[in-house]
Structure 1
Amino acid sequence: MIVVVLLSFAVIFHGIRVHAGYLKLPVLVAVLYLLWFLPQVAGLATDISVPASGYNRLILMMSVCLIAFWIGWYQKAKPVIPSPPPDFTKMVLPTLILTLISIAINLLLARYRNEWTGGQQWSGPITIVAFFAQVREVALVLSLLLFLNLKDRRSFMLLAANLAITVPVAIVLLRRSEMIGLLAALLCAYWFARRKTISPPILAACGVGLVIVVYVIGPLRGASLAIEASTGERPLLFDPDLWRNINIESAIAKNLEKAHDVRNALYVIDYTAENWAYNFGLALWNGFVRLYIPGQILGAEFKQSLYFEQARNTFDYIHLAYGFEFSVGTTSTGFGSAFSDFGYFGALYFFLMGYVLKLMFTYGCAGYFWSQVAYMCFLPKVLVSLTHGHDKFFVSIPFLAIVILSLRAASKYRYRLRAVPQRQRQIR
């Protein structure tokens, strides 16, 4: 474990040497290691109930994945700048259309959501609506960049409308991925549009606050539902009554003791290695089927026939082999899911993420507007892939790519690319 800690600090110190280094993917991944994964791994180190071989393999896989992120990011990429500069006024109309679509779909989703109780698994039309509701992420990113570049009334109204849709999902419904996406969008937009960085004290305060919320998110959601049952309204994340209903210290200690997701990853990795039960990408295929094949339209039986059961029944096999049962609502993390596909070679998934995100970031810093949009949209997906499963990033690519490329075409933004002079290069 000491090796992973040292690697994480090395990646952070290497990345923050330049301006806006805190926006680099390897730095954010290393911070996620130190604040989320490693505290849980430390608890497993003294747990005699877990297999020692699984613990050692988990540590090795985490190290390999972090190195893969770093190597992928620091592959050389030739930065370019748009010439002439983008005409942001041509992007207002596409952003307005996308915002209206986002508002309509998310209002419909809110209506459907009210018909489901917290313990029910979504099925039927609501799953299709929830899929298309993701456009709010792109609409928010576009409106942020437009407002910071144009600073006029139109762009302000667009931003206000998108914040009105996105913020409640984060601070009322208490969606962790939405919180991360919102924070990442704000930080990236401020750098891309204004070339300004956030002061370290503010960054530290935001980081500590987000970590506390993530560690106690379960009790927070329970307290939120209890308050809603008694008052008829859900409280905001910042409502003092919400925090008075939970024991923060106890919730954090319990989370670290249980270490559900990291423990799941340990068993997945150990079972896969001991039994050579590799999926060879079948889990990724199942992710695409789950997200893009509508059972309500094409039929549930047809959708089920497309799944590979071997990749779907891993948890059942682990239960038979170890007597360990996965808790509902937990994940096997990106380490576990990637290892179950190709063993340690599964770290190549994270190499690809690092390489692709580096291209987006480099072009974005060189002034390429649509690369800025892409980086701000995909950055949260990578972080979620690390905590929930590597497939989360890859299955999001078709949808986000179609939306972003359609907007790019609609904006009628044409330019030719030329190399950035050496003195203008900011990313090494």
Structure 2
Amino acid sequence: MVLNLLFLILLLGLLIFITGKDLYRNSIYEGPFWFSIVLLGWFIPKYFSMMGKDNSSIFLAYVFLCTSFFIFAFRINVNFNFKQRYLDGKYLNIWLIFTSVIGLIAYVKARSVLDVYQELHGGHLTGFITILFFLSKLLVINFAVSFNNFLNKRNITAIIYMLPSLLYFLDRIFIYGRRETLLTLVLIILTLLYFKTNFLLKRALLVPCVIFGAVIISTVGQYRYVMENDLPLSEYSPLEGFTDSANTDHSNEVLIATKKINFIWDNDMYDMYLSLWDRVIHSYFPGQIFGAGLKKSLTFSYNQVTTDMLSGTYSSGMTSTGFVDSFQAFSFFGFMIFFLIGVLLKRVWNQALHGRELAIILYPLLLSKSLFTITHSSAHFFLELISFYVFFGFYYLCTASREVV
């Protein structure tokens, strides 16, 4: 209990210091600020609700280690250069139309069969619908590119190119209540406005906005329940939802993460980060085309830890935070994964500050996924990086665009 309290005080002190310092310096678009905000607004309330229900000293020590090294990595001055690719206006517009059509068709098809798949498979989607959702996520990158295009040109044509992907965002947010989609949209808009126009939220507005955002994101589960069951919108109460989300054990991701890390520690269930390879295969290898057997043979499925192995009953489809898969990779040395994420994010940040177009587009996408390393898994960051380079890799392959150093 003493160790739990010690590591909790250290973690809270670090988060409050970073948040206050970045607010004072107006460094509100840098990775450490958002990382600290998510830990304060999402992680800490869930931790307080499960205190005393399991020994969390190992988990808290590891969270403090990962957070410290992520912040430290972002403070390192990473200035190695890379060639900037030229975004040809004519070819880019054609590419935006092409990806919009593919993304919308895939999303409409996925949306039409989503309820059936959820009934069959619960919270875990598998099969052809995973390909449809992967293609529909082209619309996320598409929106970042088209919004950047709009800030460059400020014309009606640029707005039209934004509309398909904007419809995707609005549907995912207001109809399906997807908090990750809301967060990604906000970060794309805010960071691109900052890079292109030097826009900064005033401090007087920022604090209430952050508190409001933390409450909304924490209560999205209740909003989703209201929408899925066709209940009156008046049934949605942000304050009540925030309290319920923090106090419900079976859906408390922090409690699940604590139990999993203790289980991994007690049973030496490490996997050397082979889980990342399995996620890459699951996301990018179409078993429907090449065969499910071949796809399964390419994965390791080594030392998997599921909620069935833990004491207690938990909701299906629950995440267990990115601290679990990184800890399972290399024990306490898993903090190096968060250090690497911080270094890569800082590199893109530096390039974006120097006006590199691809970095400006990539930064908000990676920033949002770096926050998913807290709530979901560390693999989300690397999968987003791969998706981005696949998107632009095909663009440059199709256009054979020239390079500018």
Q: Fold match, TM over 0.5?
A: yes
What pairs up with 1:35-114 in 2 under 5 angstroms?
35-45=41-51, 47=52, 49-50=53-54, 52=55, 55-78=56-79, 91-113=92-114
Cα deviation, 1:198-245, whole Å, max 9, x if unaligned, reads 2234433432333222222222111112217xxxxxxxxxxxx41x11
- Work out the CA distance in 2 between the residues paired with 1:202 and 1:296: 49
- Work out the CA distance in 2 between the residues paired with 1:139 and 1:391: 22
1:348, distance to aligned residue in structure 2 (A): 0.9
Cα deviation, 1:71-115, whole Å, max 9, x if unaligned, reads 211222227699999775664333333333322322332333365
Identify unmatched segments of 5+ residues in structure 2.
1-7
Q: Which one is further off, 277-286 or 186-195? A: 277-286
1:141, distance to aligned residue in structure 2 (A): 0.1
- Work out the CA distance in 2 between the residues paired with 1:114 and 1:331: 20
**Pick aligned residue for 1:300 from 288, 292, 298:** 292
Equivalent residue number for residue 150 of structure 1? 153
Residues 85/126 of structure 1: CA separation in 2 closer, same or farther (3 Å cut):
closer
Matched AA of 2:235? N
Equivalent residue number for residue 288 of structure 1? 280
Equivalent residue number for residue 4 of structure 2? none
Q: Count residues with an aligned counterpart.
A: 393
- Does structure 1 residue 188 correspond to structure 2 residue 176? no
Equivalent residues of 2:323, 2:374 under 8 A apart = yes
- Does structure 1 residue 324 correspond to structure 2 residue 324? no
Matched AA of 2:22? G
- Work out the CA distance in 2 between the residues paired with 1:85 and 1:295: 35
Q: Which one is further off, 269-278 or 71-80? A: 71-80
Identity, in percent, stands at: 20
Equivalent residues of 1:90, 1:411 under 8 A apart = no
1:32, distance to aligned residue in structure 2 (A): 0.7
Equivalent residues of 1:360, 1:371 under 8 A apart = yes
Residues 247/83 of structure 1: CA separation in 2 closer, same or farther (3 Å cut):
closer
- Work out the CA distance in 1 between the residues paired with 2:41 and 2:306: 28
Cα deviation, 1:111-153, whole Å, max 9, x if unaligned, reads 3336545674433321211111110111000111111111012
Matched AA of 1:144? F
Residues 10/208 of structure 1: CA separation in 2 closer, same or farther (3 Å cut):
closer
Equivalent residue number for residue 171 of structure 2? 168
Residues 403/264 of structure 1: CA separation in 2 closer, same or farther (3 Å cut):
same
2:33 match: secondary structure: helix
1:341, distance to aligned residue in structure 2 (A): 1.4
Q: What RMSD, in angstroms, separates the aligned Cα atoms of the two structures?
A: 2.6
Cα deviation, 1:371-397, whole Å, max 9, x if unaligned, reads 111112222111112211111222333
Matched AA of 1:415? V
Equivalent residues of 2:86, 2:403 under 8 A apart = no
- Does structure 1 residue 338 correspond to structure 2 residue 338? no
Matched AA of 1:149? N
Equivalent residue number for residue 360 of structure 1? 348
Residues 80/342 of structure 1: CA separation in 2 closer, same or farther (3 Å cut):
closer
- Work out the CA distance in 2 between the residues paired with 1:371 and 1:172: 31
1:56, distance to aligned residue in structure 2 (A): 0.7
Equivalent residue number for residue 250 of structure 1? 240
Cα deviation, 1:322-375, whole Å, max 9, x if unaligned, reads x33443121110112211111111111111111111111110111000111111
Matched AA of 1:398? I
Matched AA of 1:133? S
Equivalent residues of 1:82, 1:368 under 8 A apart = no
1:159, distance to aligned residue in structure 2 (A): 1.8
- Work out the CA distance in 2 between the residues paired with 1:39 and 1:290: 32
- Work out the CA distance in 2 between the residues paired with 1:82 and 1:304: 38
Matched AA of 1:393? F
Residues 413/110 of structure 1: CA separation in 2 closer, same or farther (3 Å cut):
farther
1:156 match: secondary structure: helix
- Does structure 1 residue 227 correspond to structure 2 residue 230? yes
**Pick aligned residue for 1:349 from 315, 320, 337:** 337
- Work out the CA distance in 1 between the residues paired with 2:191 and 2:83: 19
Q: Which one is further off, 210-219 or 404-413? A: 404-413
Equivalent residue number for residue 403 of structure 1? 391
Matched AA of 2:15? S
Q: Which one is further off, 187-196 or 82-91? A: 82-91
Equivalent residues of 1:262, 1:333 under 8 A apart = yes
Matched AA of 1:203? L
Equivalent residues of 1:65, 1:350 under 8 A apart = yes
2:214 match: secondary structure: helix
Q: Which one is further off, 116-125 or 400-409? A: 116-125
Residues 74/56 of structure 1: CA separation in 2 closer, same or farther (3 Å cut):
same
Equivalent residue number for residue 380 of structure 1? 368
Equivalent residue number for residue 5 of structure 2? none
- Does structure 1 residue 370 correspond to structure 2 residue 362? no
Equivalent residue number for residue 126 of structure 1? 129
1:291, distance to aligned residue in structure 2 (A): 1.5
Q: Which one is further off, 105-114 or 350-359? A: 105-114
Equivalent residue number for residue 403 of structure 2? 414
Residues 350/57 of structure 1: CA separation in 2 closer, same or farther (3 Å cut):
same
